[in-house]
Amino acid sequence: MRHIPSTIKAAAFAAVASATGLAAVTAVPAAADHHMEKEAGTIVDIAKSTGMHDTLVQAVVAAELAETLSGPGPITVFAPVDDAFAALPDGTVETLLKPENKGALQAVLTYHAVAGKVTSADLMNLIRQGGGSATIETVQGGTLTAMPMGDNIVITDARGRQTKVVKANVEASNGVVHVTDGVFLPG
């Protein structure tokens, strides 16, 4: 399996000992557009503008990562939709949003970020080179595994949970966003 190094851990990431993890995808069903088109704003600007990433934005603010995710990058973020957060066990989001759990929230969010700009084409090349799957190192320090499933890319987290990329390659001024239908949980 091929591995993407996390070489651009900026000082802001080091300061919080984390970041946000996202990868890439291939073909995306037209129905999964979610009104996210090419944007000129930062990753945070894009998340704020969709109307389907409100929980993610709330978590990024609570974890004090908004400034980092608005920085120069480049960074790739896998952005779970609100329904993905709602599907977590009852009380999970509320517990993570408490100030005393900021470190755990930062770890979850930075597990959705990959250093550098990784497009779906880049990811597919890594998957081909890896013989059908690719291991991706997140800014948090954990790994994700990407593999094709039908017309989509599925990302498996450290707990074995599979999440589909439903919209790939949303360009940001500081990287790229891939929209996911699930939340990655570190081991």
pLDDT tens digits, residue range 67-106?
999 999 899 999 999 999 999 999 999 999 999 999 999 9
**Residue 154 falls inside a structural domain:** yes
**Residue 187 falls inside a structural domain:** no
Mean pLDDT score, 13-22: 29
**Residue 104 falls inside a structural domain:** yes
CATH of the domain at 23: 2.30.180.10
Could you give the 3-state DSSP secondary structure of residue 149? Answer: strand
**Residue 79 falls inside a structural domain:** yes
Digit-coded pLDDT (tens) for 21-40: 333 332 333 333 444 444 46
- Whether 145 has a pLDDT exceeding 60, the answer reads yes
Q: Which two tokens stand for residue 59?
A: 């978590």
**Residue 177 falls inside a structural domain:** no
What pLDDT is recorded for position 151? Answer: 87
d(CA 10, CA 117): 14
The number of distinct structural domains making up the chain is 1
Cβ-in-10-Å burial (0-12, 13-18, 19+) of 17 comes to middle
Domain membership of residue 160 as a residue range? 3-168
**Residue 116 falls inside a structural domain:** yes
Residues 6+ away with beta carbon under 8 Å from 172? 39, 41, 42, 43, 45, 46, 73
Better pLDDT: 73 or 164: 164
Q: What is the pTM of this model?
A: 0.79
Long-range CB contact pairs, 34-40, < 8 A, 24+: 34/81, 34/166, 34/167, 34/179, 36/167, 36/170, 36/177, 36/179, 37/170, 38/170, 38/171, 39/170, 39/171, 39/172, 40/173
**Residue 26 falls inside a structural domain:** yes
Confidence of residue 187 (pLDDT cuts 50, 70, 90): confident
**Residue 179 falls inside a structural domain:** no
